[in-house]
Amino acid sequence: MLKRFAPAFFVLLWSTGFIGAKYGIPYSPPFYFLSIRMAIAALLLFIAISFLHKTQPITRSIIGPSTLIGLTLHGAYLGGFFFAVSRGAPAMITALIASLQPVLVSLFAARFLGEALRARAVAGLLLGLLGLVVVVSPRIGMTGVDSVSVISIAACFIGLLGGTTGTILQKKFGGAIPTLAGTSIQFAATSLALFTLALLFEKPEINWTIQFVGALAWLILALSFGAILLLFYLLSQSSAASVSSLYYLVPPATAIEAYFFFDERITLVSIIGGLITVVGVWLVVSKQKETPSAI
C-alpha cells in the first residue's frame, strides 16, 4: 500500500513546502526560520530515538555521512530556496527551478553511482534550461509582484545544487544508516549551520503569530517528517534518477496552490515554459525509471 501511494503523497507534501515557506517568511528571516524548524525536528527525533535506542543507535560511523547529507539536502537546498522566497521569488518559480533536480541527479548518478545515462539526457538538460529561461527571463528586472531578482535566482540554483548533492549522498550512504538516527543528525547539523548564518547575517526579528506557528508546524510535521521520510523510503526502493523524476510534478501542484493561497498568476508564458521544462526532464529520466542502482 505504501509503495503504491508513496510517490503521490511525496509530490503533494513536497509541493506544499514552497507554500509554507512563503506563508511563514513574512514573520521571520529565512535562516532563523529554518534553524528553528530543524532544531525542533531534531529534538523530536532524538526523543523518539530515546525510546528506540536498541534499534536506532547513534554511532560515530553515521555522524559524518549524515552531517554531509544534512548540510546539502536540507541546509543548502532549503536555505537557498527560503532565501529566494524572502527576496520575493514566486512559489511557482522556486518550484520550477527545483524541478530541474532530476536532470542534475541523473547526470550525477551516472558519474558517481553508476546509474545508466543516455545521450538524450543532454538534449533534455538543454530543453529543461530553455523552459526555465522562458519563464524566468521576462520577470528579471521587472517591478511588482511578478518580478524576480537575480540574487533570488542565484539562491534557487544554490538550493538546486544542494538538493541534488544531498540526494546522491543519501542514495550512496543512506542504506547503511538507521533512518531515524541519521535524519536526527541531519536536522541537528543543519540547524547549527543555519543558526550560525542567521547570527552572522540576520536580525533576530521573529513575530510569533498564529500564521508563523502554523507554517512552522506544517513544515516540521508534513515536510521534515512526512516528505523527507517518504523520500528516503523511495530512494531505498528505486534509483536516484527515478525518484528525482517526481520533482517535475511539483511545479504544477505548487502553481495551483500558490494561485489559491497567494493569488499568484498562472500566465500563458509560465505554462509554456513549464511544459518545455517538464518535457526536458522527461527526456532525461524516462528511460531510466527501471534502472537499478549500481550500489
164, 125, 175, 168: which is closest to 247 by C-alpha? 164
Amino acid at 151: I
Instruction: List average pLDDT for each run of 10 residues in the chain, which is 295 residues long.
Output: 79 91 95 97 90 71 93 95 91 82 76 68 71 69 62 93 91 85 94 97 95 96 92 82 72 84 79 77 58 35
The pLDDT of residue 289 is 45
pLDDT of residue 291: 39
Quick one: pLDDT at residue 154?
A: 93
Q: What pLDDT is recorded for position 159?
A: 95
CB distance 158 to 150 below 8 Å: no
pLDDT for 198 equals 97
Q: Spell out the domain ranges in the chain.
A: 2-285
Residue type, 27: Y
The predicted pLDDT at position 293 comes to 35
